[in-house]
Amino acid sequence: MLWRKFSGEPIDLPIKASVEEAIVRETALGNKLKVCIGTDSQVKGVETEFATVIVFLREGRGGFMFIHNEKTLIRYSIKERMLMEVAKSIEIAYELCDLFTQYHVDMEVHADINTNPQFKSNEALREATGYILGMGFAFKAKPEAFASSSCANKMVNV
């Protein structure tokens, strides 16, 4: 999996090592961190592109993020695509969760799923909520899910 910084600079280390390095660096600088992980997707013609982000929030001091983009030719229904976004976020959250526990960093998984039943993405809300909470992760959906609905959203097709 290829990850990059917001600047576009590639991350050469494995993502777990890069996240640990960032936590150690920020903690040494006196920053209290919170991490939010989210994925968004966009369908363009026959391609579906997913962007997954790891957003590091420095309490009172802004933040930064790591980004991974992935394209596929698989066709998804809206519900399948929403659940695939959640699966991608959970996959990375699960890979990193022991680091967050070790360094006492709060983490949330953000789902780009609308809580308003008038929106099509809402079809996936019940399953996504069960999936994320069942894994033991804190969870936010729209409109609070900024990691997926704002940060990842801006990284799709960049």
Cα separation, 92 vs 102, whole angstroms: 16
- The first and second tokens of residue 42, run together, are 């966009």
- pLDDT tens digits, one per residue of 101-157: 999 999 999 998 988 888 888 888 989 999 999 999 999 999 899 999 999 999 986
Q: DSSP E strands: which ranges in 82-147?
A: 106-114, 138-142
Model pTM score: 0.93
- Average pLDDT of the chain is 94
Which single residue is written with the structure tokens 């033991």?
A: 136
Q: Is 109 helix (H, G, I), strand (E, B) or coil?
A: strand
What is the pLDDT at residue 51? 97
Cα separation, 153 vs 55, whole angstroms: 13
Check pLDDT > 80 for residue 158: no
pLDDT above 70: percentage of residues in the chain: 99
- The first and second tokens of residue 25, run together, are 């660096």
